[in-house]
Amino acid sequence: MARERTAAQPAPVSARFLYRGVHAAHPALDQARRGVVLPGNSFGDVTPLEHNKGGISEASQFTSWTYEREVAEFHACKFGPGGVVLELLHDTPNPGDLWAWEASPDLFDEQEVLLRGIRTGATVIPI
């Protein structure tokens, strides 16, 4: 189940979190509201560079994350109200997990990190 917190409840300072903005017209918004992170295509073979350039999210096994909450909020609001920001700890997967963090070329200087695979349990921050 997703955890939800408001902007008035800051994350612990000692933790290093990553954020993902999911806008109101995003095809995976319903899942995001439940704290589930789904890439466009779990079996995709898009390179990090191709994903970072944009325009192929539906074919990508990656989702885009940032250390900058403001960047995530910008993306969550692209299509008006109703989007959410997801928050995950930048941790290491356990053996057998089907997800991994990967470096991004970060062509747009958004402090982007890519998440390969599906995750659950993200904290949902309504925007």
The full set of domain ranges for the chain reads 3-7+27-91+98-126
Please identify every stretch of the chain with a pLDDT value under 70, giving residue numbers as ranges: 1-15
How much is the pLDDT for 38? Answer: 96
How much is the pLDDT for 9? Answer: 46
pTM of the predicted model over 0.75: yes
β-strand pairing of 123-126 with 3-4: parallel
How much is the pLDDT for 15? Answer: 55
25/83 Cα distance (integer angstroms):
8
Instruction: For residue 37, give both structure tokens.
Output: 């992170």
How much is the pLDDT for 100? Answer: 97
How much is the pLDDT for 10? Answer: 47
